[in-house]
Structure 1
Amino acid sequence: MELRVLNYFVAVAQEKNMTRAADKLLISQPALSRQIAALEDELGVKLFNRENRHLTLTSAGQYLLEQAQEILELVVKTRKNLQTTSFISGDLTIAAGESLGMQRIMNVISNIIKKYPTVKIHLLSGDYSYAQRKLDNGTVDFAVIIGNTSIANYASLTLPEKDHWVILMPVNDPLATKKVIKPADLVGRSILNSQQAQELQLFQNWLGNYSNYVNFIGTYNLNFNGTLLVKNRAALMFTLDHLANTSPNSGLTFKKIAPALQQNIRVIWKHGVKLSPVAELFLKLLKESILQEQYFL
């Protein structure tokens, strides 16, 4: 597969029409049709369902589109980072979940872009599995992992900050009068769980023998939409303490849980991979920010 042909394929998939894609690519429609047909022959699969002039992706085509977009994104990122060696430039890409530790990372990034205005920053949001996948396929420089997941295959840096789990609820919920929430308090309640916590069975273990008496109604991977369910009194929600909007007009409050659960925050990157100059600078400044804080403690 040539990169040129992957570009052609992505354009056709986005336009869902061969003529419009050809106009976008500034080539003739017959030439584009031949390239797509040759790609299907090379791969031995059908990429498009052809209905009159409208094209839809087959399951194989959808898979190729996802892979092609990541491949082309990686090519662009690599090209930009190779275009300069005399000064700090290029792209810095980080995949991360929502976390208190992101403030330290944003402080470091802010210093970089103020000093090196040609640097471009790309922040991708998702849970730990999303961030690790992006790191593994090379489309990000760093992933920020929240929680005690295995990172043995990566280089890593643990941040001083810790995330603490709490339970979010409406301010007039009966449990809002309690100082802390214990497993027995949640018997018979509906709970929205973090997708990552669900996969790790974090709260099932925390609940112990009470787990079978709690109704886990589903999961979320980013915080905001889950809070809307809590506002509607459809469920309570396990979340991290610094992510919950409990301002006076929010109608929400959070309560600490007992026994307490906290999460490590770690920045990871691939072992043995040569980092771009801007990625090396980011890592250097991040380490310095941690050492400086430890020095003044």
Structure 2
Amino acid sequence: MELRVLRYFLAVAQKRNITKAAQELLISQPTLSKQLADLEDELGVQLFIRGHRQITLTDEGEYLQTRAREITQLAEQTALNIKGQEVISGTISIGAGESIAMERIMRVLSEIIKDYSDVKVRLISGNADEMETALQHGSIDFAVLMANRSLDNYHHLQIPESDRWGLVMRKDDSLANKAEITPEDFADLPLLMSEQAIEEHRFQSWWGNLDRKMNIIGTYSLVFNAQLMVAQGSAYLVTFDHLINNANNSQLTFRPLAPALTETTNVIWKKNVTQSKAAQLFIKRLMASLDTYA
């Protein structure tokens, strides 16, 4: 598979129309159609279902779209980083979930950008599984994990800031009168919980034999969307401290769990991979920040 053809495929997948994609790519429609047909022959699968007005991706097409994005992004980032080896330039790509520890990382990145105008930043949001997969595929340089995971296969740097779990509710809720939330308080509440935390059974020991009384009505990946449901008074959100924006949403408040339940944060990157100068600078500056901003 050639990168050029993968870019053609991505354009068609996005436009859902060969004519519009050909116009955007500045090539003829017959040429584009032939390139796609050749790609399907090469892979031995059908990538598109061609309709009258638009095309639809098959399951194989959906899979290729995901991987083609990763491949083309990796190629572009590699080219930029190689071109910038004489000076510090290129893109630092970081995948992370939501955490107070990201303030330190954003401070480091901001200082690098101020000092080196040719350095760009690419930020990807997702849970730990998604970010670790992206790191393994080479589509990001670093992953920031807020979870208890094995780090033996990576270089890693632990960030001093930790995240404490708690409950987000409306300020006019009776539980807002409590300083801390206990497992007994959780009983029968309509809870929105982190999908990753549920998969990893993070709260199993914390609430113990009250498991049967836990009413988990939904899961979330990003806190912003979940807190909108809490604001309606129809749910309670189990999440980290510092993530709800009280300045913009004065209806909500956070109360920590007791006994305390916390998560450490680690920045990880692949072993046996030569990092770009920009990525090397990020590691160096992040390590230095542990003394400067301890």
**TM-score band, normalised by shorter chain:** over 0.9
* 1:38-77 deviation line (CA, Å, top 9, x unaligned): 1111111111111124211111111111111110011100
SS in 1 for 2:242: helix
SS in 2 for 1:181: coil
Partner of 1:264: 264
Partner of 2:193: 193
Q: Distance in 2 between matches of 1:262 and 1:125?
A: 21
Partner of 1:24: 24
Partner of 1:50: 50
Q: 2:138 aligned with 1:138, yes or no?
A: yes
* Matching residue's letter, 1:37: A
Asked whether the 8 Å contact 2:192–2:238 carries over to 1, the reply is yes
Q: 1:98 to 1:16 in 2, by over 3 A?
A: same
Q: Distance in 2 between matches of 1:50 and 1:157?
A: 49
Work out the percentage of aligned pairs sharing the same amino acid: 48
Asked whether the 8 Å contact 1:93–1:140 carries over to 2, the reply is yes
Please list every run of 5 or more consecutive structure 1 residues that lacks an aligned counterpart in the other structure: none
- Which moves more between the two structures, 135-144 or 2-11? 2-11
**Cα offset, 1:168, TM superposition:** 0.7
**Cα offset, 1:24, TM superposition:** 1.9
SS in 2 for 1:180: coil
Matching of residues 1-297 of structure 1 within 5 Å: 1-247=1-247, 250-293=250-293
Q: Distance in 1 between matches of 2:27 and 2:247?
A: 55
SS in 2 for 1:206: helix
Q: Distance in 2 between matches of 1:123 and 1:87?
A: 22
**Cα offset, 1:291, TM superposition:** 2.9
Asked whether the 8 Å contact 1:10–1:68 carries over to 2, the reply is yes
**Cα offset, 1:249, TM superposition:** 5.6
**Cα offset, 1:244, TM superposition:** 2.1
* 1:239-264 deviation line (CA, Å, top 9, x unaligned): 11111233496111111111100110
- Which moves more between the two structures, 245-254 or 39-48? 245-254
Normalised TM-score (structure 1): 0.95
Q: Distance in 1 between matches of 2:53 and 2:165?
A: 53
Q: 1:249 to 1:276 in 2, by over 3 A?
A: closer
Moved over 4 A (4+): none
**Cα offset, 1:293, TM superposition:** 4.4
Asked whether the 8 Å contact 2:154–2:270 carries over to 1, the reply is yes
Q: Distance in 2 between matches of 1:38 and 1:272?
A: 36
Q: Distance in 2 between matches of 1:133 and 1:8?
A: 25
For the aligned residues, what is the CA RMSD? Answer: 1.4
**Cα offset, 1:204, TM superposition:** 2.9
**Cα offset, 1:84, TM superposition:** 2.2
SS in 2 for 1:46: coil
**Cα offset, 1:273, TM superposition:** 0.6
- Which moves more between the two structures, 75-84 or 177-186? 177-186
* 1:158-195 deviation line (CA, Å, top 9, x unaligned): 01111111111111212111121111112121111012
Q: Distance in 2 between matches of 1:249 and 1:81?
A: 41
Q: Distance in 2 between matches of 1:57 and 1:12?
A: 10
**Cα offset, 1:149, TM superposition:** 1.9
Q: Distance in 2 between matches of 1:34 and 1:115?
A: 47
Normalised TM-score (structure 2): 0.96
**Cα offset, 1:150, TM superposition:** 2.0
Q: 1:249 to 1:217 in 2, by over 3 A?
A: closer
Q: Distance in 1 between matches of 2:150 and 2:222?
A: 21
Please list every run of 5 or more consecutive structure 2 residues that lacks an aligned counterpart in the other structure: none
Asked whether the 8 Å contact 1:246–1:254 carries over to 2, the reply is no
Asked whether the 8 Å contact 2:85–2:276 carries over to 1, the reply is no
- Which moves more between the two structures, 260-269 or 250-259? 250-259
**Cα offset, 1:26, TM superposition:** 2.0
Q: Distance in 2 between matches of 1:248 and 1:84?
A: 40
